[in-house]
Structure 1
Amino acid sequence: MSFISLVLFLCSTQCFGQFYSARTNILGLVTGNLNAEFGMTLNKKYSLHLPVQYNPFIYSKSNNTKFQNLTVLPGVRYWLRESFRDPFVGFSLIASRYNIGNIWDKYRYDGWGLGAGLSFGWTYPMAPRWNFEWELGLAAFWANYDKSLCKTCGYKFDHERKVYLIPHKISVNLIYLF
């Protein structure tokens, strides 16, 4: 029996530790964005990811300050060493529905957008099933929105469609591997 085990051990070509991950962006939570991401290893160098973030909160009812959004960012990562360890380069798509008001200026932006982005990050193992990760990137985002004054918020005075180059995937993640 031990001879068969030894032969099987010596003839095996690959062994994967973790196939799936669940993570949350700590920076996103601090800013009020409820978020979760689920990942799956495709092979030693590639993984698929599906992050979702949601912010239903109005920060100030008196001046209608809010950063409400529902955003999905499906993507793929190429790991320079192996999945869920050390550096990676990512590509992701963006689909977002948002209602943002009184954050950068006195206007409210109510609309949706689509985009794509590239990112770079690094994952640090903390324990056999826990990782810490940072990620930063840049994306092209096509925004389609109505613009209105925050105090009246029902009066739309402009409709815009623009492409923006935006910071993307600014995250500090806590990851559970299983």
Structure 2
Amino acid sequence: MAFACTTSRAQMVAVSTDVLMDALQTPSVGAELVVCERSSISLNLFGNHNPWGKTMKIVGIQPEWRYYFSGRPMHRHFVGVGALGTQYDITWKGKVYDGYAVGLGLTFGYVIPLSSRVNIDLHAGVGLVAYRQKEYFESDNYDQDYSYGGTAQANASGYCLLPTRIGVSVVYILK
């Protein structure tokens, strides 16, 4: 990243929220800082607790570095390299998934400027996600069936190729 920066100017700072995640009752907030003529870094936080009355809790963080092809940050086409870290406890169709996941991926997107301070950011990304979780049926006696030395252990782990970012964000440029 340091070699991608050739000149440094006054930094632009923006805050955002992902409208699609908000619609899915998973509030999100993000901040983006321009670090070079064509690139920026961002940090997005998201989480939920029992959306739609479903037993679910998710908390996550997504740092990302973006390169803008237009020569102007926060404008038009970009590609990003990002990471994902999340902790979750989800009950789905009688099965419980309680664990964490980490991943790395690529994001592609397009930023549409609506005014000098407001943008719409369309983005989609895919990445390799590794997970480690306790996976069991609600009726199981998990604490006894999957314990070692009195401590419940994760019984499922692996990795898979998953979407890491899909969304439409409303961005407000502060400076």
Q: Aligned-pair distance for 1:155?
A: 2.7
After TM superposition, the structure 1 = structure 2 runs for residues 26-175 of structure 1, keeping only pairs within 5 Å, are 26-57=19-50, 59-60=52-53, 65-81=54-70, 82-102=72-92, 105-150=93-138, 152=139, 155=142, 159-175=155-171
Measured on the aligned residues, the alpha-carbon RMSD in Å equals 2.0
- Could you tell me which runs of 5 or more consecutive residues in structure 1 were left unpaired when the two chains were aligned: 1-12
**Residue-pair matches, total:** 158
- Secondary structure, in 3 states, of the residue corresponding to 2:20? helix
Segments of 4+ moved more than 3 angstroms:
13-16
Supply the distance in 1 between the matched residues of 2:96 and 2:119 (Cα, whole angstroms).
Answer: 38
Identity, % of aligned positions = 21
Change (3 A) 1:44 1:142: same
Q: Aligned-pair distance for 1:165?
A: 0.7
- Give the number of the structure whose alpha-carbon radius of gyration is greater: 1
- What is the TM-score when the length of structure 1 is the normalising length? 0.82
Supply the distance in 1 between the matched residues of 2:126 and 2:99 (Cα, whole angstroms).
Answer: 21
- Could you tell me which runs of 5 or more consecutive residues in structure 2 were left unpaired when the two chains were aligned: 1-6, 147-154
